[in-house]
Structures are given as C-alpha cells and as structure tokens.
Chain A
Amino acid sequence: MIYQGKQKIWADYQKEIPDNHWFYVRSCIRQNFFPGAEKMFLEICREVLKKDFYETEYHTTCGGIAYHCDTIPQETVMTIVARQFSLMTEAGYENYVASCITSFGNYIEILETWREFPEVETRIREMLWKACRREFNKPKYVAHASDLIYKYRNEIASRAKFRLVNRFTGEPLRVVEHIGCHYSKMFPSKGVGGAEYPYVLCGMIESWGGNVIDYPERRHCCGYGFRQYHVKANRGYSVSNTYKKFESMAPYHPDFILTNCPGCPYFMDRWQYVIAETEGKTYGENGYGIPVLTYEELASLVLGYNPWDIGLQLHQVAVEPLLDKLGVEYDPSEKYKGLNEKELSRPELPGVLRCC
C-alpha cells in the first residue's frame, strides 16, 4: 500500500465527527459474540475520556438483519428506526452512535431515503404515531462507534500502556484490518476514508504503533453475508468466503486481524476452527490461528485492561500468542473465571486448532 496515495484518497473522505454528547445504541448480536466489546467502549468513553454517552434500555433492534434477510419490508424497518430516533429525542440528544455496522448502514440508508423522498418520511411519522404515539427529530449526526474510537485514537495513544510492537523483535505488529461491508460500501461519503480504502481502522493501527498489511482479498466479505449463513444449507458459501480470505492473507503472516463489525470478528474467528477441522489448516504460528479482535478490545488492551476482563477468553482462536508479543501480562489460571472469581465452565479443546 502506498501511503501517500492513500492519504490523498483519505483526504477526500474525511468527515466532521462531534466530540461529545452521544446517544448510544447497542448491537443485537455483539453482546452474545464478544460481550466485553460494547462494555469497554462505554467504559473508555465515559471513564477514561470523560465523554457524555447515554443509552437507554428501551431501544430495540434496528431491524437490519431481518431487512437484509428479506423477511420484512423497508417501511417496517423505517418505523422501528423512527422509534429509536424518538428515544434519542426524548433523552435530549442530537448525535446518534451505533455499535453495529449494519445498523449504521441502515440508519444512513433510511436518512438518505427520507432526504430523497420526503413523502416517505411523512408516512413513517404517521405510522409511528399510530403505532405508539411517538414523535421524533432526525439526528444531526449519525456515527459508527469505530468513528469515535478513530476520533479519540490519539487521546488513547497518549494514555496507552502498550504499543502495537512485537517486544521480541522490536518490529511493529503486522495487522490486517477488515471493515464491515455496510460501513461505507453503500454510502462511501459516510465512512472515514471512503469505500475502497477506509481509513477508520488503519488510523487506529497507525496511531497505536502497528503496521497495516495489504493483501489481495482485503475488501472481500468476511463470509457472514446474512442469507449465506442464516440458511443452514448455504453455510458452505459462508465458510468458503472466509477460507478465500484466509488463503489470501496467509502469505503475509499477520499477527492479528482488527475488525469493526459484529459479524466479521465472529465469523473470521469461529470459521478458523471449522477450516482447521475440515481442511486441517491453521493460519497462525505453531498451530494457532490468527487472533481476531474488535477495535474496542484492541483499544482496551492498548490502555492496559486485563485481557480476561474485556472478554478475550470468549474468542475461539487463542489470543495468548498476541498478548505475549504485546507484552501484556496475564494469568492463564484466571482465563475462565467470571465475576467474583466464579469458575466458568471450560470449553472442550478442538482437535486441530491449537487453543492453549
């Protein structure tokens, strides 16, 4: 990747991101996949950076999964989203931040649709009033949570306890970034860095000392693809996509993968186990896989949080080789201990993929 050329592209796709006062909405699935990620996002923003982030227990799904699986019409999704906006209006906020990439894409798509077709917005306002007697103001700004960590990246770097440097070699860690498809492929101007070479994760990696690795299938889908996975008969397509990506990145020997989507880290993490069991292949060093982290988990690691407090034990691919490279101290005996030292059940170890 030629840095100067990318800087020119990135300069055309920068967006103003408000610094403070955000209404935060969670993802439907991330809390099951990597439950530490969203908790750490709020912890970092509220406690470390002292920003104002508000969330309410009354918000629901945005309907994005059902919409992209073609099971509900867009008007239904719009009404669900209109209700979320009404919660934001009720709480007195104007900046809206979504944890989920698909939600972010969904909100942007809906706001753009309303801008193009104001009569649709009027109809949705009527439908929301009939359904639950609510009214709303449109958000002044919609961001994805990774946009905010991108914005705060230098503040995080200034408080960092660890840099993305291999302590055994002194070299920057080789990091592969993977952007969720719904981040900017639909509306390139709404993402930091555009659609082809989004800068949002590259900026974090560079700021925290790592080296971004380019590889042929960099912009390929992670394999989740909604209908590819949700229909069991189609899951072969899903794992085939992931396999194609890993085959493409393997010659570049990345130390870990950084993602900003709910589905991508899950599938790139779990499918490594399936690929190992079916093809006998592992992509990391010494039989391990390539660890896949979310940007919140990485920010937490850089800031020096205990890896087991941020939920890294819930990854299929062992993160210990990465922690060793970073120089993060951890107690292996505490890996499966929950709150108040409660012993969690230990997972069965896979046959091929080395996990401890």
Chain B
Amino acid sequence: MDFGFKISPSSAINLDNVDLTKFEELHRMEPDVYKCMACGSCSATCPASPFSGMSMRKVITALQRGKEKEAVAMLRNCMLCGKCSMVCPRGINTRHLILSIFRIYREDGK
C-alpha cells in the first residue's frame, strides 16, 4: 500500500568493512548486547582487569569492529565471577553473554 511516505533506511554511515554475520547471530541469541551503552561499569569492577587487560566494554566494541580474535583472547581471562552482571546499569546478563560469545566465536568450540 502506498501511503505517500515510507520507512527510511538508517542514514548512519558505517565505514567498517567487516563481516558482522557472527555479531548478528550473537544479537539473535543475546538481544541484550544492543543494550550496552559502553558506560564501562563492567570493566571498572572486573577483578581480572588490572592484571590481564580484560574489559567487557572493549570486547563488545571489538566484536562490532570485526576484531574477533582480540575479543576472544581478552575473554579467556574472564573467571565468570559475575561482578559485571551485578553492576551493569542496563541489567545485561554479562556472564551469559560471555558464554554465548564463546559459543559463536570460538571455532574449536571449546
């Protein structure tokens, strides 16, 4: 039906030339990944962060930028303590998200 107007596609310009198929799969599995507003509360409270460089905020950004290996390497330092889940102001179940990231991005499946 022609209403004389239609839904406009997003006008955001994405200059990243990366394949986001896996990230879209992650979004289907974990819709909460889009809730992240990069506040960094998770990284600030992470007990593994001071000695390993682990940062959940960086992981999510890296996945969106196609730096998958970097993200998975960082996540290997996670102890699944769940402090990030407790402080996330958007209530993201980060521990569940980390496990889902491993399921999708680790090619060896381990």
Give the interface of A toward B (CB within 8 A). Answer: 1-2, 5, 214-216, 232-237, 239-240, 243, 248, 251-252, 274-275, 277-279, 351
> Which interface class (under 10, 10 to 19, 20 to 34, 35 or more) fits B?
10 to 19
Q: Are B91 and A236 in contact (CB under 8 A)?
A: no
- Given A216-B34, A216-B35, A279:B7 Cβ within 8 A: yes
A-B contact pairs, 9 of them (CB 8 A): A1-B91, A5-B89, A215-B31, A235-B4, A239-B6, A240-B8, A251-B28, A278-B7, A351-B1
Q: In the complex, A2→B4 CA distance in Å?
A: 43
Q: Are A251 and B31 in contact (CB under 8 A)?
A: yes
Give the interface of B toward A (CB within 8 A). Answer: 1, 3-8, 28, 31, 34-35, 86-91
In angstroms, how far is the closest chain A Cβ from the Cβ of B84? Answer: 12
Closest 6 CB pairs of A and B: A251-B31, A236-B5, A235-B5, A216-B34, A1-B91, A277-B1
A243 to chain B: which residues have CB within 8 Å? 7
- Given A216-B35, A251-B31, A240:B7 Cβ within 8 A: yes
Q: Are B7 and A2 in contact (CB under 8 A)?
A: no
B6 to chain A: which residues have CB within 8 Å? 236, 239, 278
Q: In the complex, A174→B34 CA distance in Å?
A: 19
Q: In the complex, A275→B91 CA distance in Å?
A: 30
Q: In the complex, A252→B28 CA distance in Å?
A: 11
B87 to chain A: which residues have CB within 8 Å? 2
By secondary structure, the B interface counts as loop
Q: Select B89's contact among A2, A215, A235, beta carbons within 8 Å.
A: A2
A2 to chain B: which residues have CB within 8 Å? 86-89, 91
B90 to chain A: which residues have CB within 8 Å? 1, 214
Q: Are B8 and A236 in contact (CB under 8 A)?
A: yes
Q: In the complex, A232→B86 CA distance in Å?
A: 46
Q: Select A237's contact among B4, B8, B28, B88, beta carbons within 8 Å.
A: B8
Q: Are A233 and B7 in contact (CB under 8 A)?
A: no
A277 to chain B: which residues have CB within 8 Å? 1, 3
B5 to chain A: which residues have CB within 8 Å? 232-236, 239
Q: Are A239 and B89 in contact (CB under 8 A)?
A: no
Having A239-B5, A274-B3, A277-B3, one finds 13 other A-B pairs with CB under 8 Å, namely: A2-B91, A5-B89, A214-B90, A216-B35, A233-B5, A235-B5, A236-B6, A237-B8, A239-B6, A248-B34, A251-B28, A278-B3, A351-B1
